[in-house]
Amino acid sequence: MPNNIRILVVEDDQNLANNIASFLADFSEVDIENDGLSGKFAATEDVYDLIILDIMLPEMNGYDVLKNIRNEKINTPVLILTAKAEIDDKIHGFNLGADDYLTKPFHREELQARVKALLKRSGVLADDSTLKIRNLEVNLNNHVITANDEPVSLNGKEYDLLVYLLQNKNTILTKDQIFERIWGFDSDTSITVVEVYMSNLRKKLRPSQNDSLIKTIRNVGYIFQDETENQSK
């Protein structure tokens, strides 16, 4: 999918959920859950860049879903999308950790604008569709990668891995997080594939001396970090 962005929509109206997914599909991959319990499970067990959450849900209401997400120390941006328009409802949502609140009915253009704003704020969606660190650049529109203005050739999963690292630079990512994001928790392959692909990516970044950006955190995972950038701050 474009930009490797993943969004979870928790909405019991299937037609509305499908419509939301369709007009966000040009820049993201969208998963749908139709009740609160399933939404909570997906939000806590998988890795998403944004969650769009209804309040009046079967099984578990959206406020409790949000509370559970934040109690699990999951900081994924949450946009509440609901017919509950009272100011007290909005304040309650923000107090529980919501990042934005949009009431139904809504204009699709406004929802898309709010989604993009949250993704840009969290650093997932670049304003110019380019991710950059040192001399390494990734164009998210055409998937072209350059280092020192020279092309870098990566296969599909290697590209996805590099984009995920860039989108989360200076953040420790566990092997489980990387595996679930790039291969999916239901993949037939083993989690050791993460080490294999990380090694391959380092080799392909070595000619441009960008392999040192990938640092192994023993028994935890990896971090994509430019130490010289941090030292200059």
Query: Is there a single domain that holds both residue 25 and residue 107?
Result: yes
> Does the pLDDT at position 1 exceed 60?
no
- Same domain? For 65 and 136 the reply is no
Domain boundary among 55, 87, 122: 122
Question: Tokens for 104?
Answer: 């139904």
What six digits make up the tokens of 232? 């200059």
Residue 1 lies in a domain: no
| pLDDT at site 3 | 52
Say if residue 10 is in the same domain as residue 114: yes
List, for residues 55-93, the tens digit of each pLDDT value: 999 999 999 999 999 999 898 999 999 998 899 999 999
Residues 77 and 143 in one domain: no
* Cα–Cα distance for residue pair 232/70, rounded to 1 Å: 33
Residue 182 lies in a domain: yes
Looking at the fold, whether 73 and 138 belong to one and the same domain comes out as: no
The answer to whether residues 83 and 152 belong to one domain is no
pLDDT band at 229 (very low <50, low <70, confident <90, very high): low
pLDDT at 228: 57
Position 111 in a domain: yes
Q: What is the DSSP letter of 231?
A: H
% of the chain surpassing 70 pLDDT: 94
* Domain match, 110 and 200 both: no
Q: Are residues 107 and 147 in the same domain?
A: no
Question: What pLDDT was estimated at residue 62?
Answer: 95
Q: What is the pLDDT of residues 125-134, one digit of tens each?
A: 766 678 888 8
Picking from 83, 105, 122, the residue at the C-terminal end of a domain is 122
Looking at residue 227, its pLDDT comes to 65
Task: Kindly state the average pLDDT of the residues 30-43.
Answer: 96
Residue 78 inside a domain? The answer is yes
pLDDT number for residue 146:
92
Mean pLDDT of the chain: 88
Percent of the chain with pLDDT over 90: 51
- Residues 46, 80 share a domain: yes
The 173-174 sheet, strands edge to edge: 173-174, 221-224, 214-217
Q: What is the pLDDT of residue 231?
A: 47
- Number of domains present in the structure of the chain: 2
Has residue 16 got a pLDDT over 80?
A: yes
Q: Which residues contact 13 (CB under 8 A, 6 or more apart)?
A: 54
Q: Provide mean pLDDT across the span 98-127.
A: 86
Domain-embedded: residue 167: yes
- Looking up tokens 């971090």, which residue turns up? 223
pLDDT at position 183, please?
87
CA distance 225 to 51: 26
What is the mean pLDDT of the segment spanning 43-49?
89
d(CA 111, CA 57): 20
For 161-214, the pLDDT digits (tens) are 998 898 888 888 899 889 988 887 777 889 999 999 999 999 999 888 888 889
Task: Tell me the CATH number at 212.
Answer: 1.10.10.10
| CA atoms within 13 A of residue 85's CA, in its CB half-sphere | 5
* Structural domain range at position 17: 6-122
Distance separating alpha carbons of residues 84 and 98, to the nearest angstrom: 14
Would you say the pTM of this structure is higher than 0.85?
A: no
Domain end: 90, 122, 154, which one?
Answer: 122
Query: Are residues 75 and 145 located together in one domain of the fold?
Result: no
Say yes or no: 176 and 115 in one domain.
no
